[in-house]
Amino acid sequence: MAKVYVVGANGRMGKLICELVCETDGLELAGKFDVDNIEQLDEVAPAADLVIDFSQPAALSHVVAFVRRTGAALVCGTTGLSQDDLAQIQSLGSQARVVWSSNYSIGVAVLRRLSVEAAHALKDWDIEIVETHHKMKLDAPSGTAKTIAEQVGDEVGRPILAHSMRGGTVAGTHEVHFFGTDEEITFTHRATSRRIFVAGAVECGKRLLTVEPGFYTFDDLMF
């Protein structure tokens, strides 16, 4: 039975992750951490097999220190991270099994792949990304929109803009628009529940426990 710690356990995603871990064969919820007790990860918390972190950038140093101390596998879905933060996560791959993704939905992964493929064929078209989330989401554009923009931008050799809208309880909608002369193509992914991201993150965690230490992408583990 793999012991799992959830960081960001008081948030919407964290609560769902805790529920699914408890329902998943082979996993045991051994600890929950958030702003009120995150410092316990530094020295007090005993070793665990897996950490699933959907918290805030401020918690990253504690998570990184714990992984370095214990060698626990890490599934990180925290967004709003700086390039230095991401470099820290990647460096953990030298001693532990680590995956970071801005989005753990299989559907979004397919959206990214389709968008890059379309960009390859439509390099001269105008391309815009629009993302919509609930009004409580802190980062804008979303980490997913940034990732798509970066990958499409690399393909076409120019920056791609990502536009944000916030309102209501929208779980997450991402649209990638390709505008040509007298024609338009749009790819849309619409999430109706956060459970799709939770299911992907927990599945990534299970697969991460079966591989060698290293830094992995969502696509590495799922495709």
Contact 118, 160 (CB under 8 A): no
Average the pLDDT over 205-221 and give the result: 96
Q: What is the per-residue pLDDT across 55-73, written as a single tens digit (0 to 9) for each?
A: 999 999 999 999 999 999 9
pLDDT at position 43 over 90: no
User: What pLDDT score does 105 carry?
Assistant: 94
The catalytically annotated residue of 32, 62, 133, 189 is 133
Residue 40: half-sphere exposure toward Cβ, Cα within 13 Å:
14
What per-residue confidence (pLDDT) applies to 16? 96
- pLDDT band (50, 70, 90) for residue 80: confident
Q: Give pairs for 197-200: CB < 8 Å, separation 24+.
A: 197/13, 197/77, 197/103, 197/104, 197/105, 197/172, 198/13, 198/16, 198/17, 198/20, 198/104, 199/20, 199/104, 200/104, 200/105, 200/106
Domain topology for 2-100+195-222: Rossmann fold (3.40.50)
User: How much is the pLDDT for 222?
Assistant: 92
Indicate if 133 belongs to the active site. yes
Strand order in the sheet with 161-166: 161-166, 126-133, 172-180, 183-191
Cβ atoms of residues 36 and 16 within 8 Å: no
What are the pLDDT digits (tens) for 105-158?
999 999 999 999 999 999 999 999 999 999 988 889 998 999 999 999 999 999
Q: Which neighbouring-strand residues pair with 191?
A: 172
- Which is the catalytic residue, given 62, 137, 146, 189? 137
What's the chain's average pLDDT?
A: 95
Q: CATH 3.40.50.720: does it fit domain 106-191?
A: no
Domain ranges of the chain: 2-100+195-222, 106-191
Same fold, 2-100+195-222 and 106-191: no
Residue 137 a catalytic site member? yes
